[in-house]
Structure 1
Amino acid sequence: MSSIDVSIASERQMRKREAEFVNSVFVSEMIPLIVPSDSADGSDGSKSKASPFVYAKDLPALVVEFLEQHYRHGNLTWHNGMIPDTEIWIKIGGDKGGGTMKMFFQIVNINNPNAGRNTVTFASFAGPDTPDNMTATMEQYEDQIKALENMSWRGYSFRLSFFGDCELLCKMYGILSCNSVYACPVCEEPKHGWKIPLKERKRRKNGLAPLRTNASLHRNFLQYMSDGCRPNRSKTVSKSVVRLPLFPIEPQQITMPTLHISIGVHDKIYRHLEEGCHDIDKDIFTHLVKTYDDSSIDKSSVQNNFDQAVQQRVDEVGEKHTMLDKKNHDLAEMTANIQDTSIKEICAIQQKITELEGDLKKADFKKGTGPITSALDDVLQRHNIQRQEYHGKTFNGNQVKKCCQPSVTADLAGTPHRILGELDSSHSDTAVPLQAYGKATEVAKCFATVMAKFSRVHKCINHGRNMTEQEILDAETAIEDFMQCFRSSLANVQISLKLHFLEDHVLPQIKSLRAGLGLMNEQGGENQHGHQKREAAACSNLKHQPMQQLLTVMKNSLTQCLPDVQAKMLHRKKRQNED
């Protein structure tokens, strides 16, 4: 490497840095946590188990150490005025993944604060992020975070914000759940109010619902306590507040989870497309069963599940028709001899006939195996978009970005008509009912329209650039247009917490920052999961010592985040003729 003027810090230097600083940062211990269990000693599917917990004993000191190192290396920036020149912004947040819950901090006053190398894990435990587990592990940081918020460094004051997905935000701020009536941790607008467009709510007699504060959350919790701590009554007595907030960071300083907003909203749009395509597949299935001609089918050529389901359904329909004819014959005989037959027997026969008639109307095949719905996955793969099989076939952030490209949207929207045409051309008789073409047109138009407006929103909010007045106005218009289109085109889809965040709280945050939310969202926390998974694999020899393994992963992760270590990892020497 020296031949190309590159020097790399030695292994000894890196281990020395770890020994001097990292070993003094963390405390490790086994603590009782609630974990899932199906064993006999469990209760309601869970039990208490001693689990490893590794945490920084002095969070403010750790933050200051990172600031000092960034200061020495000239890394600090105020992002062209986005951050006031008298402030240092610190993001605190968390995320679960890989069997552990991790808590992070990020210094926003550096370039690429959401990068994995700038996301510092200060606490981690092996277990689910239940409210009880979060309280047991995080309540020790309440005073430390309050001290950090009130302290100054080199004449700069601190401004703290909190980031995380919707579930974590609700847990940290004491909300019952993401599905509760008052699920929003930022404001007191109930779920039924989300159905009403923002502009209409602004014109209400009482205006918009009040914003939450730590003081209001404490008052709500006292009301919950006075009522006897009954979660099912929290929606009426405490605005769905059932716990005290864990950290003293005001709800107005919650960073909108734009990554999860984009993923969640896109998932709703795509699943609506799948439902529409499945509905067309059912029409095709029913039509093929009715027009099935066994003599014209080469059964050895059947390859896909859908064709097999058609043939299986034809056999079932034949059997059910035979049963139905027999039951109708029995009913006719019973009715003719009503004096010798009880009313109960006649009613039983009539009920069976009704069931058989209902079964004959069903289009019974596995969802996703129809010709159109299955073709959607082929389109995604053609554009190198691989859905996450083990996460409910959802999309990740990069995949959502690809799906927002006009070429991908057009390809997906055109799939129903394309497959219908292929089916018609491959069969001698009409394989497609006429109404399927009308439905395909409606599905394609709806998806293309909604996705075009969503893509515009995604582009407006998911970046870290400073924004002009016109760009902020464009973002406001994009959000309004999208929500109007969503409500009219997907009227049967519920307005979720993520959509409420998008409509009510994303734009005020953009106006406050005068920038996109790419620097402030939860992306950095998501990036850490893959990094720490690789670290855990590297020390797999410790898998039977979970405490030591978690401690080693935390140490290695912290070491790689240190600005001093990063500065030595890859450094180009200056040439003699360079200043």
Structure 2
Amino acid sequence: MRPGLTPCLWCHITQEEIRDKDNCRLRIPPRTLNSLAEDHLKIVRDGKGAHKLAKLYHNAIAPVMFDVPIDQVVIPGLHISLGIYLKLFKLMEDELHDIDLKLQTYLTAVLEEGEVTKEELLADEHLGRFKAYVSAIDEARALDDKADALEEELEEEESQLAWLAYSSGAGDEMAEAVFQEACSTVQDLYEEKEKLREKAAEVRKKASVKVGQGPLTSQLDPVLQKFRVQRQAYHSQSFIGNHVNTMLQDKAIDELTSVTSSVVSSLMDNNRSKVQVAF
């Protein structure tokens, strides 16, 4: 058996029901040794053993290895701890990334005020990680300036359009033609302005700091490496059992959870004379 449409060893619950518990069946058929044997027989006999058809036979792609009643099989504690720790680690990483993004947004406001130069901010070991984003700010700002200019022009054209609508006489073909042309101009200006806004947003998004690259999230891997722990590159960046045991020790927990305070303290100390970082 392998994960698939019905990934549970103990019952025939589907992946969709696991994701959407509100629409889950009230009674879900349990698995038994007999049902596993029957499903495996069917996939061999009817499905020719094709794994791509496994979902049609409750994923019973192999015979039962041990003749142990299913209700006596328990999930290994190590397997549970691996999943829980990975979940908690990713939650922490996501929260730190949110702070990185907030700091990135604040950085934009600081630069717009003009009291601090890009060079001064990027000289900081932590803020320097926003180099790509800071470089994109000027490009995005130029696009926004063009959009602002178009918006002013658009307001003028809309005012003219309102006046034409008010002053045009009924049945005046010339006035109608002028009015339609004005409508077309307003529409073109609006579309051009929106394209510039979208392009500016795209420039910012493309250059935005990614998970693991910001001042905070970038400090997680060094902590792991300090304890000779690394995430598995080809398994959703999960951890192995010994590494989880290592990271569940008090010292490792303290190191990980102090990332935020240590980075923020460093930022405050290094930039106190330049900018008051808001947290």
1:185 and 2:9 aligned: yes
Matched-pair contact (CA < 8 Å) for 1:288–1:431 = no
When residues 331 and 222 of structure 1 are mapped into structure 2, their CA distance, relative to the original with a 3 A threshold, is farther
**For residue 150 of structure 2, what is the amino acid of its counterpart?**
D
**For residue 409 of structure 1, what is the amino acid of its counterpart?**
I
Give the match for residue 414 of structure 1: 258
SS in 1 for 2:230: coil
Q: 2:123 aligns with which of 275, 290, 302?
A: 302
Matched-pair contact (CA < 8 Å) for 2:54–2:61 = no
Q: Spell out the pairing of 1:426-575 with structure 2 (5 A cutoff).
A: 426-427=270-271, 428-434=273-279
1:322 and 2:142 aligned: yes
SS in 2 for 1:371: coil
Give the match for residue 287 of structure 1: 106
Q: Spell out the pairing of 1:17-166 with structure 2 (5 A cutoff).
A: none
When residues 309 and 421 of structure 1 are mapped into structure 2, their CA distance, relative to the original with a 3 A threshold, is closer
1:355 and 2:198 aligned: yes
Task: Name the TM-score, length of structure 2 as normaliser.
Answer: 0.67
**For residue 406 of structure 1, what is the amino acid of its counterpart?**
D
When residues 333 and 193 of structure 1 are mapped into structure 2, their CA distance, relative to the original with a 3 A threshold, is closer
Deviations 1:296-354 (A, max 9, x none): 8448x8375x5345344233222222222213323543562772545763453143144
Give the match for residue 208 of structure 2: 364
Cα distance in structure 1, aligned partners of 2:212 and 2:278: 20
**For residue 279 of structure 1, what is the amino acid of its counterpart?**
D
Q: Percent identical across equivalent pairs? A: 23
Matched-pair contact (CA < 8 Å) for 1:229–1:242 = no
**For residue 269 of structure 1, what is the amino acid of its counterpart?**
L
Matched-pair contact (CA < 8 Å) for 1:217–1:244 = no
When residues 360 and 417 of structure 1 are mapped into structure 2, their CA distance, relative to the original with a 3 A threshold, is farther
When residues 264 and 426 of structure 1 are mapped into structure 2, their CA distance, relative to the original with a 3 A threshold, is same
Give the match for residue 78 of structure 2: 259
1:378 and 2:222 aligned: yes
Unaligned runs of 5+ in 1: 1-169, 172-177, 435-579
Cα distance in structure 2, aligned partners of 1:195 and 1:406: 37
**For residue 333 of structure 1, what is the amino acid of its counterpart?**
E
**For residue 397 of structure 1, what is the amino acid of its counterpart?**
G
Cα distance in structure 2, aligned partners of 1:226 and 1:311: 59
Unaligned runs of 5+ in 2: 162-180
State the 1:248 CA deviation: 6.4
**For residue 141 of structure 2, what is the amino acid of its counterpart?**
H
Matched-pair contact (CA < 8 Å) for 1:278–1:368 = yes
Task: Name the TM-score, length of structure 1 as normaliser.
Answer: 0.36
State the 1:231 CA deviation: 8.7
SS in 2 for 1:291: helix
Which structure: greater strand fraction? 1
SS in 2 for 1:420: helix
Give the match for residue 44 of structure 1: none
Cα distance in structure 2, aligned partners of 1:205 and 1:394: 33
Matched-pair contact (CA < 8 Å) for 1:186–1:211 = yes
Matched-pair contact (CA < 8 Å) for 2:97–2:211 = yes
Q: Which has the higher contact order (CA 8 A, sep 6+)?
A: 1
When residues 244 and 378 of structure 1 are mapped into structure 2, their CA distance, relative to the original with a 3 A threshold, is closer
Aligned positions, number? 245
Matched-pair contact (CA < 8 Å) for 1:263–1:396 = yes
Cα distance in structure 1, aligned partners of 2:118 and 2:154: 41
1:276 and 2:95 aligned: yes
Cα distance in structure 1, aligned partners of 2:222 and 2:65: 46
**For residue 275 of structure 1, what is the amino acid of its counterpart?**
D
State the 1:376 CA deviation: 2.2
Cα distance in structure 2, aligned partners of 1:347 and 1:390: 47
SS in 1 for 2:216: helix
Matched-pair contact (CA < 8 Å) for 1:217–1:241 = no
State the 1:372 CA deviation: 1.6
Deviations 1:244-265 (A, max 9, x none): 5364645626563443332232
Which structure: greater helix fraction? 2
Cα distance in structure 1, aligned partners of 2:47 and 2:190: 51
Matched-pair contact (CA < 8 Å) for 2:32–2:69 = yes
Matched-pair contact (CA < 8 Å) for 1:277–1:416 = yes
**For residue 253 of structure 2, what is the amino acid of its counterpart?**
T
**For residue 286 of structure 1, what is the amino acid of its counterpart?**
T
Give the match for residue 32 of structure 1: none
**For residue 375 of structure 1, what is the amino acid of its counterpart?**
Q
Give the match for residue 52 of structure 1: none
Matched-pair contact (CA < 8 Å) for 2:129–2:214 = no
Cα distance in structure 2, aligned partners of 1:388 and 1:395: 5
